[in-house]
Amino acid sequence: MTHPAEGTAETGDHGPGGRHGGLTAAEVDRRVARGEVNDVPVRSSRSTREIVRANVFTRFNGIIGVMFAIILVVGPIQDGLFGLVIVANTLIGIVQELRAKRTLDGLALIGEARPQVRRDGAGQTVATSGIVLGDTVLLAIGDKVVVDGSVTEADGLEIDESLLTGEPDPVLKRPGDQVMSGSFVVAGSGAFTATRVGREAYAAQLAEEASRFTLVRSELRTGIDQILRFITFLLVPTAVGLVISQLAVEGRDWQEAVRRMVAGIVPMVPEGLVLLTSVAFAIGVVRLGRRRCLVQELPAIEGLARVDTVCLDKTGTLTEGGMDLVELRPLSDGRATDDDRQVLREVLAALGAADARPNASMQAVIDACGPPPDGRRPVLAAMPFSSARKWSAARLADPAGGEASWLLGAPDVLLPSGHAALGEADTLGARGLRVLLLGRSAVPLDAPDPAAGLEPAALVVLQQRLRPDASETLRYFEDQRVRAKVISGDAAVSVGAVATHLGLPGAEQPVDARTLPAHGSPEFADLADRTSVFGRVTPQQKRELVAALQSRGHTVAMTGDGVNDVLALKDADIGVAMGTGSDATRAVAQIVLLDDSFATLPSVVAEGRRVIGNIERVANLFLVKTVYSVLLALLVICTHVPYPFLPRHSTVLSTLTIGVPAFFLALAPNNERARTGFVRRVLRLAVPGGVIAGTACFTAYMLARLDTSTGLEADTSVATLTLFLVAMWVLAIVARPYTWWRLLLIAAMGGAFALVLLVPWLSDFFELHLVGLRGPLTGVLIAAVAGVLLEVTWRIVVLRTEPPEDGGEGFAGAPAG
């Protein structure tokens, strides 16, 4: 795609001072026709074909499909109902994921980076895919480099390439230097000519992979996969033994033997668990999408459920982006005159005009001071704001013919310790105001230290706009036992004042990050763990604080909107970026709040907890069924008796005690923070429950067989009744704590089974006929004993797990709404 000769032939005209005029419209059209366009197909979700394939061609769908085909051969059709259930479940999974795909694709289009290019001598915004070879791409602070290129213009341009090279220090770029896609601007401005676009760009493959829909690498999915692999290992020998035993028992009635073999194998497969996991994640994406929240990676939903610490950047998160200049306080020894104030305003206006991409503080200065007077204080040189320096500067000529460097930035950075103006600045900062120092220096900007010999001229007092929903959101986190920490580059006293005003616990004792102990020391981790507010934090320190919290076992979410947040966002367990933040933050974050609403975070955390907590809840239902199915098959093989069920009976049991209830329970509210150890915790509950259920069912079945006056159908009916009652007891335990709709769900499932037994055509269809009183009463008594054992076992398991945070009797300590 790259043609070096052509890349330099059509370069457009250079404007005044070497400024590149960019390509013409005709040149762009020719390059698009030649395919020299940035056409990397970055997708936010899987294709429709991949979705269908992933939901249809699964290991267990294959097993169930073979069993269904066998039943179609041996009949009757009512024994093949499980096949129709699998078809319906697969369709539900496909439909839900297609809904999630539409949501993701639409939101990704909204949140996509829109770089600026210069064409026909004028700047214009284009889609990333609209950049062509040779385009002049404009850069400003916070912009992401979307294609590879060669720098043509640079005004203090500093590029952070840490996401590509791992080198944390920004790289100063000059005309002729190369820039790589995937890096981002941390200071200054400039432009570059695109030399490699599309798949040839350095980070094209990384970018495509990072923003693609993933279904999910996480403890939850890994745990489910481990369980399924173990079940597959058990399935084959058990099925072989079951086939042999049923053929031996049934003798010449091979069709009955095959039906009962199928009935033994199908319940072993927890096919609905995989489906419900996919559906729950997909519905979570759709729900969050409706709240203008883009989930760029599905594992983020699980990560949110595990978050116990949220690190917040003050600016853009607790406060709105806009600021107001409330006071310009001169620092002259004598009384400041109106002329002195006018000079200060002219200087501030010139500094604002010299900044190509002003931040919120500079924008407030520009709004208050307006444009500089024509010709009075021309800009001779300028240095844009850098989060590392914490100041910006311009070399101005004054009307008297002299010149001076004027610096605007943090007072505690520009002034020596103990300076009188620092006390005044701290007093203002303690009120939640942002204070900048305007100072004058005779030192040129290209000197090693332009701030040397700085003469303080004035304090520029700015007021930030607090988000109206910030206080309520912080209270939500406190109620949910999620610790919030404010980590900001602003002065510690100022950040502490804002956080105190919003009611953040511990905000009264902010810590200046410049006084932190050495990174990696126990003291550093202790301070990071117990402190709520940090000020004067550098980008590297934000990253170190996140690492320190993680070293103490915390699951950390980091929010931010500026380039100084990128490294911390990347290292946090969950990165949350604001939609109007820099391209770089949106690129590395797993979640993007497209409407910039901090109040969306509680919904995001709650959705993650709902998904993961409920998946663990319903996993117990599916795995109890798997355990008792395997146990029944082994008991049947050892005792050489007919398998107690036909496939139609397994369908009734699975649908009423697992399938339908699990679907509703998986979508219910759940605020319990997820914990590690999913497999161990689920098996600790499912194995004893399955053993008790299987033993009770087989005991009732064998006792029923002792009554020679009844046939196999009556014995099967007793076994079905017993297993249904025990499985309903399991459902009643898993559904705790009870709400009206949970009780209604349990009652509805019981009522449905009663209809199957009492309505003649249904009992004939499913071959369920209870004969006499002895067998059914025996089954009910055995189920009652099994229920008591379940209660005892469950309570022992619950007592060995973490107690419920609300003091209730939640399932495995998991309260639910």
C-alpha 275/C-alpha 638 separation (Å) is 33
263 and 554 Cβ atoms separated by less than 8 Å: no
Task: Could you list the beta-strand ranges (E) of 648-727.
Answer: none
pLDDT reported for residue 10: 41
DSSP run (H or E) holding 248: helix 219-250
Which range, of 272-286, 481-495, 757-771, 772-786, averages the lowest pLDDT? 272-286
* The domain made up of 303-318+467-600 is a member of CATH 3.40.50.1000: yes
Residue span(s) of the chain under CATH 3.40.1110.10 come to 322-465
C-alpha 468/C-alpha 599 separation (Å) is 9
For 237, other C-beta atoms within 10 Å of its C-beta total 11
Higher pLDDT, 212 or 161: 161
Higher pLDDT, 742 or 592: 742
Which tokens belong to 144?
A: 């992401």
Which tokens belong to 768?
A: 């369920």
Asked if residue 416 has pLDDT above 70, the reply is yes
In the block, tokens 């020679």 appear at 708
Residue 22, phi then psi, degrees to nearest 5: 85, 180
pLDDT reported for residue 801: 59
Angle between helices 219-250 and 678-705 (to 10 degrees): 20
C-alpha 100/C-alpha 252 separation (Å) is 52
> How many angstroms separate the Cα of 270 from the Cα of each of 86, 753, 794?
11, 21, 21
712 and 641 Cβ atoms separated by less than 8 Å: no
For 563, other C-beta atoms within 10 Å of its C-beta total 24
Higher pLDDT, 480 or 388: 480
Active site residue 529: no
Asked if residue 51 has pLDDT above 90, the reply is no
What mean pLDDT comes out for the span 118-147? 87
pLDDT reported for residue 311: 92
Residues constituting the chain = 817
The CATH class of 322-465 is alpha beta
pLDDT in tens, 520-530: 888 999 999 99
Higher pLDDT, 316 or 342: 342
> How many angstroms separate the Cα of 333 from the Cα of each of 329, 336, 435, 763?
12, 8, 19, 100
Higher pLDDT, 598 or 211: 598
Strand order in the sheet with 403-409: 319-330, 455-466, 433-441, 403-409, 391-397, 379-386
pLDDT reported for residue 324: 82
Asked if residue 192 has pLDDT above 90, the reply is yes
What mean pLDDT comes out for the span 738-747? 93
51 and 298 Cβ atoms separated by less than 8 Å: no
pLDDT grade for 1, boundaries at 50, 70 and 90 = very low
pLDDT in tens, 295-340: 776 667 777 778 889 998 877 678 776 788 888 989 876 677 888 8
For 459, other C-beta atoms within 10 Å of its C-beta total 20
pLDDT reported for residue 488: 85
pLDDT reported for residue 14: 40
The CATH class of 214-269+605-800 is mainly alpha
Asked if residue 226 has pLDDT above 90, the reply is no
pTM listed for this prediction:
0.64
For 633, other C-beta atoms within 10 Å of its C-beta total 25
109: helix, strand or coil: helix
In the block, tokens 């319903």 appear at 618
DSSP run (H or E) holding 122: strand 122-125
pLDDT reported for residue 252: 57
Angle between helices 59-74 and 81-111 (to 10 degrees): 150
C-alpha 207/C-alpha 147 separation (Å) is 11
C-alpha 616/C-alpha 632 separation (Å) is 25
476 and 602 Cβ atoms separated by less than 8 Å: yes
Asked if residue 21 has pLDDT above 80, the reply is no
pLDDT in tens, 548-589: 999 998 989 998 876 667 778 888 888 888 876 666 677 677
pLDDT grade for 18, boundaries at 50, 70 and 90 = very low
pLDDT reported for residue 635: 92
C-alpha 63/C-alpha 74 separation (Å) is 17
Task: Could you list the beta-strand ranges (E) of 597-720.
Answer: none
Residue span(s) of the chain under CATH 3.40.50.1000 come to 303-318+467-600
Amino acid at 701: Y
The single residue of 135, 143, 313, 412 carrying the catalytic annotation is: 313
Q: Which of 111-120, 295-304, 375-384, 626-635 has the highest mean pLDDT?
A: 626-635
User: What is the percent of the chain where pLDDT is above 90?
Assistant: 20
Asked if residue 251 has pLDDT above 70, the reply is no
Which tokens belong to 130?
A: 């609209």
pLDDT grade for 12, boundaries at 50, 70 and 90 = very low
Q: What angle do CA 275, 279, 281 make, to 5 degrees?
A: 120
Which range, of 188-202, 496-510, 571-585, averages the lowest pLDDT? 571-585
pLDDT reported for residue 207: 44
Residue span(s) of the chain under CATH 1.20.1110.10 come to 214-269+605-800
Radius of gyration of the chain (CA): 34
What mean pLDDT comes out for the span 216-234? 73
